[in-house]
Amino acid sequence: MTQKRIYNFSAGPSMLPLPVLEKAAAELLNYNGSGMSVMEMSHRSKFFEEIIQSAESLMRKVMNIPDNYRVLFLQGGASTQFAMVPLNLLASPEGTADYIVSGSFAKKAYEEAQKFSPNIKCAASTKAENFVRVPGQDELTLSPNADYVHICFNNTIYGTKYPYIPETGQVPLVADMSSCILSEPVDVSRFGLIYAGAQKNVAPAGVTIVIIRDDLLKEPLPGTPTMLTYKTQAENDSMYNTPPCYPIYICKLVLEWIEELGGLTALAERNQKKAALLYDYLDNSQLFQPVADKASRSIMNVTFRTGNPDLDAEFAKQSAAAGLSNLKGHRSVGGMRASIYNAMPYEGVQALVDFMQKFEQEHK
Amino acid sequence: MTQKRIYNFSAGPSMLPLPVLEKAAAELLNYNGSGMSVMEMSHRSKFFEEIIQSAESLMRKVMNIPDNYRVLFLQGGASTQFAMVPLNLLASPEGTADYIVSGSFAKKAYEEAQKFSPNIKCAASTKAENFVRVPGQDELTLSPNADYVHICFNNTIYGTKYPYIPETGQVPLVADMSSCILSEPVDVSRFGLIYAGAQKNVAPAGVTIVIIRDDLLKEPLPGTPTMLTYKTQAENDSMYNTPPCYPIYICKLVLEWIEELGGLTALAERNQKKAALLYDYLDNSQLFQPVADKASRSIMNVTFRTGNPDLDAEFAKQSAAAGLSNLKGHRSVGGMRASIYNAMPYEGVQALVDFMQKFEQEHK
């Protein structure tokens, strides 16, 4: 290595656990005595079948997924789910669905759904407040006859997360968990469908996790592409065609790493400790202010700013030079964002806070 | 390594060039002094932008792609293209397209298209002959007003390939080249659109190559998911959302390897030599017979059988034990299939022929 590994605060793709990368490197040319790389093996081989089955059973165990849910490994990222959810869950081309608009991706999901029915509704939005918080339960205007309610559980760009799970009665709750899946325990039984692009907490980009309750595996709307049909994917155990084998393999390694750490309860403690270190500093800083409302704070994406765009730019530049990478905030929010997913060690957040303190001293 | 690498004749995913895997392993933890793995880097980072731009420019150079074509890196495999092609190329929900049915995947593409228009036509089929050959130009019933003609250029399961490029006049020709892309030079200007799942000759599973002529980047049918819209993907340089970064990186390494070997002309010679070794043996064997008609033979997938299913099974078993993996044919053809893609060395085919000769001696 010509340079040591850095602390990468990217919103995604993002850091993977070092032991996972080391294992992947060690068996890259020859997996488990197979004489080939995981990248080279037939998805129908016993080697790969063991990998995908392990990934699924580990996901079930780690997330405590009830038996009446399927776990699918798909492609296309959350943006493809924005179409798959309405295509598969709307009862008809005039079906109704409620979308809670709590950020940029929640809004994209809402807009995509409108391609498939004229009855897609906005149940609540915090756009007027530039998405610094998520709507509360009492702000939701839910249709009792909706086919589903859609939320984005953690809003990567704004650094917010639902502090509660919306109550939707008999209507299935669908959640985009791309930036918070596997970060802490979650009661899967409260959701009809959970999906997540893997590239933040699970695996490299290229695999999408879908956790779907059995009763939602139904006939999709007419004209739905076969590849975008949950039922077909479930009936074929995610192998209707060749799945993204290598990302699924890394997903398995990440899940093994989570198990070794003590599962999601241990990981949540670790993540809360990391986030608390940063938020505590922000709450006391004279230079930096947190962006998200306290009650809606994400423990995965922490947004902050100085209030001076030039100083923000200077901070992003200097921190990158110091081996703290990708701290520039999304253009729609400005300022800075530190994404501190599972694989970011406590030491990385400590290094960031140390750097911020030094920067604050130099700019007061 | 607990065991040496084997010769893997899998139809896909399949062998990758050893120098590519070695390079990937060496820089897995730290790419080019970035301090991170390619699996961890933001797709908006300068490191990854350089990777995807290099992959594209190498693809253009190696395949000699004219300037009026775009190269896209998508997800979902050829099966997703089976839907994207009609969704984007049909002029209306009543649009006409001609499909040449030369094998199992050609048939799947034909059937998928029927979801999007009642006017999808079969221009020719060799199903009655169990697809041992591709239809000739004089067998094609083409509609002059079709929006496109679709072919599967190399039929993986049957071991056939078009020995010619169908003449379609002003109607755009669309080709699934999943199992023959980059195997030999091809005149891209004869096609309106070429697509290929990468997991045979280009990269690990998870990225799909699309080469599309500018004039076909038009508005798709109503209700087309955004992610399945070529125009959107092209306008966003394949980064409408997070692309499958790691498979794209391996694609770049594979293209560099192809360049070092002397490009597609050199590779075609190499591939023809490999195929000739095996076909010559088959043409003279008393035990094994080739399956595909001579005029339609693929140089990527070579199908053969003994005529005795028990003996075929025995051969598949013994060859696997000898380090010649995945020679069992597809269930719809039976017998054996040796997929000898770019990364299969001549020595691998020689080892196979040696083994077949020995097997023939023992079973005459």
Q: How many CB atoms lie within 10 A of CB B171?
A: 20
The class of domain B263-362 in CATH terms is alpha beta
Helix (H) or strand (E) holding B18: helix B18-26
- Check if the beta carbon of residue B312 is closer than 8 Å to that of residue B335: yes
Write the CB contacts of B184 (distance below 8 Å, at least 6 apart in sequence).
B264, B267, B268, B271, B272, B299
> Token pair of B20, please?
């590519």
- Check if the beta carbon of residue A240 is closer than 8 Å to that of residue A227: yes
Q: How far apart are the CA of B341 and the nearest CA of chain A, in angstroms?
A: 12
Helix (H, G, I), strand (E, B) or coil at B69: strand
Write the CB contacts of A122 (distance below 8 Å, at least 6 apart in sequence).
A98, A99, A100, A101, A110
B37 chain-A contacts, CB cut-off 8 A: 16, 21
From-to residues of CATH 3.90.1150.10 in chain B: 263-362
Nearest CA in chain B to A223: B115
- Check if the beta carbon of residue B132 is closer than 8 Å to that of residue B296: yes
Interface of B with A in 176-215 (CB under 8 A): 197, 199, 204-207
Beta carbons of A42 and B10 less than 8 Å apart: yes
Residue B2's pLDDT is: 43
- Check if the beta carbon of residue B243 is closer than 8 Å to that of residue B52: yes
Q: Each residue of A234-280: pLDDT tens digit? A: 999 999 999 999 999 999 999 999 999 999 999 999 999 999 999 99
CB proximity A116 to B under 8 Å: yes
| Residue in A227, A229, A239, A341 to test binding to B, most B beta-carbons within 10 Å | A227
Question: What does DSSP say about strands A208-213 and A69-74: parallel, antiparallel, or unpaired?
Answer: antiparallel
Residue B4's pLDDT is: 84
Q: Each residue of A271-315: pLDDT tens digit? A: 999 999 999 999 999 999 999 999 999 999 999 999 999 999 999
- Check if the beta carbon of residue A94 is closer than 8 Å to that of residue A117: yes
Q: Is the dihedral of CA A293, A294, A297, A302 positive or negative?
A: positive
Those residues of chain A that have pLDDT short of 70 are 1-3
CA dist A7 and A15 (Å) reads 8
Those residues of chain B that have pLDDT short of 70 are 1-3
Write the CB contacts of A313 (distance below 8 Å, at least 6 apart in sequence).
A328
Residue A1's pLDDT is: 41
Cis bond before residue B13 (omega within 30° of 0): yes
CA dist A9 and B64 (Å) reads 39
Tell the burial category of B182 from Cβ atoms under 10 Å away from its Cβ (0-12, 13-18, 19+).
buried
Nearest to B225 among A16, A21, A228 (CB): A228
Helix (H, G, I), strand (E, B) or coil at B190: helix
CB proximity A43 to B under 8 Å: yes
| Residue in B22, B42, B47 to test binding to A, most A beta-carbons within 10 Å | B42
Query: B154 — phi, psi (to 5°)?
Result: -130, 125
> Token pair of A288, please?
């930096």
From-to residues of CATH 3.40.640.10 in chain A: 22-260
> Token pair of B215, please?
């004039």
In CATH, the architecture of B22-260 is 3-Layer(aba) Sandwich (3.40)
CB proximity B331 to A under 8 Å: no
Residue A364's pLDDT is: 81
B113 chain-A contacts, CB cut-off 8 A: none
